[in-house]
Homo-oligomer: A and B are copies of this chain.
Amino acid sequence: MQEHGLSFYVASMAEKITPRSQDFSQWYVDVVLQAKLADYSPVKGCMVIRPNGYSIWENIQQDLNTRIKKTGTRNAYFPLFIPESFLKKEAEHVEGFAPQCAVVTYAGGKELEEKLVVRPTSETIINSMFAKWIQSYRDLPMLINQWANVVRWEMRTRLFLRTTEFLWQEGHTCHATPEEAEANTRLMLGVYRDFAEEILAMPVIPGLKSDSEKFAGALRTYSIEAMMQDKKALQAGTSHNLSTNFAQAFETKFLDKDGKQKLVHQTSWGVSTRLIGGMIMTHSDDKGLVLPPRLASTHVVIVPIMGNAATKPQVLEACDKIAQSIRDAASKSTLPYEVGIMVDKDETKQPGWKFFEYELIGTPVRIEVGPRDLEKNQVVMTRRDEGKKEFISLDVAPARAIEMLSTMQKDLLEKARAYRDASTQRVSSYDEFKAKIEEGGFFVAPWCRSKDCEAKVKDDTKATIRCLPLDQEFNPYSETGCMVCGTQNPGVRAIFARAY
């Protein structure tokens, strides 16, 4: 009976997720919906983040929040609504965001005298407060972060990747000098890079955005760019040097040591629930979610194979003992998080159903405990990403579980990095680029920094400049001219790719 149950579920669960090779977009949607990470809502373009997905966001928040606080930044909260006139104070900013705004025109039973925009980002409302709070150089640097929801009206939405409402953190800082502002912009880009690689196990390339892709109102935008399994790029976080653009619009000034009134130099930087989408498309497979251990809440699930009435109590007791011994081992280990361990004693579900369920929701380590294995003093352990069953002696099972978690986190990053590197090529001629663009991946090519060449690439191939990477290795002078127009010594190499 159990065997039958198992194979039944093999069939019924396996056919639910579209394979990546068949339709990557549909595979992604299947994983998100079936792992119950998120769901479509009745409000156009807005999604519901379900508990399985929200717990990932909570883990992201907790770790990133600690990193942000370490830079001396403090959290605060600013209003959801922005008076329409504020948005208009910075010319590029309003031009960039106005088409995406949701506007409250009616409240408390009356037409509003001034319309209120639901924040698409908070530079303007926060500057109105900075202007009040900052008087002197003694008030600088002022380093503020906010965890909040924002709304940008989007025509085409995708779960996590692009939704009308999304959750994010937005940092906003004020500095006395342009050098300090630039240093903070780069510092936070580095925080994002480390976070993405250490926690999401998602390798990223930090770089400068081209002018046409920078934030509306910024002097300069940096981003971290990741590659998904379909070889498309995903912008995973941005850090902007705003110079004095918003300070000018809001008269955010300070009295400097030299007795002169000066405008503050500002930065802003953010990452969002989009990271969850990027993490899914980096690691997951045709069986469902693959979750880096740092983002899991339940790290180890123990599934009892009860056997018959005689063996059941022994099996359950053994499961509890193993759970406790892993807990003990974890507390003595160097793992930088609390290891969540669950024994799934639900008798209304077959072990086979459970195996597929835990693969679907991405539990990093599964341990099967059955009467026959117990006779041999062993259990069966499987790492989610590898899917290989290992027979492990009971006495080393706890150590092996800890080791699996530790290794899995590293392996996921290395595997993704190897995949990205193997899908990155240097090209020097535009013909070569056009011939290869359908293969997907990143293309590193010399570029003359002209908007015309950038636009031509986009028109011809739908690829865009993801960034001008900061890493030295990408940035030596080019032996050939700009890939598009041939201008000699263009000075920079850009990464071109099709992107989300």
Contacts and interface: CB of A to CB of B under 8 A. Distances in A.
Interface range on chain A (Cβ under 8 Å from partner) = 35 or more
A77 B54 contact: yes
- Identical copies of this chain, number: 2
A452 to B, nearest CB: 28
Contact of A49 (B77, B109, B153): B77
Interface string A118-135: 100000010011001100
A107 B101 contact: yes
Interface string A422-455: 0000000000000000000000000000000000
Nearest to A101: B107
A404 interface: no
Nearest to A107: B102
Query: What DSSP secondary structure best describes chain A's contact surface?
Result: mixed
A105 interface: yes
Contacts of A148: 149
Interface in A3-24: none
A301 interface: no
Contacts of A128: 41-42
Interface string A26-57: 00000000000001011100111111001101
A39 B106 contact: no
Interface string A136-159: 001000001000110101110000
A47 B129 CA distance: 11
Contact of A51 (B74, B101, B105, B154): B74
A249 interface: no
Given A51-B144, A102-B116, A80 B151 contact: yes
Contacts of A104: 102-105, 118
Given A42-B83, A125-B41, A155 B54 contact: no
Interface in A439-479: none
A339 interface: no
A101 to B, nearest CB: 7
13 contacts: A39-B132, A42-B83, A42-B125, A46-B79, A48-B76, A51-B74, A54-B77, A81-B102, A101-B107, A102-B106, A102-B107, A103-B105, A105-B105
Given A51-B144, A108-B155, 6 more contacts: A49-B76, A55-B74, A98-B109, A103-B107, A104-B118, A106-B115
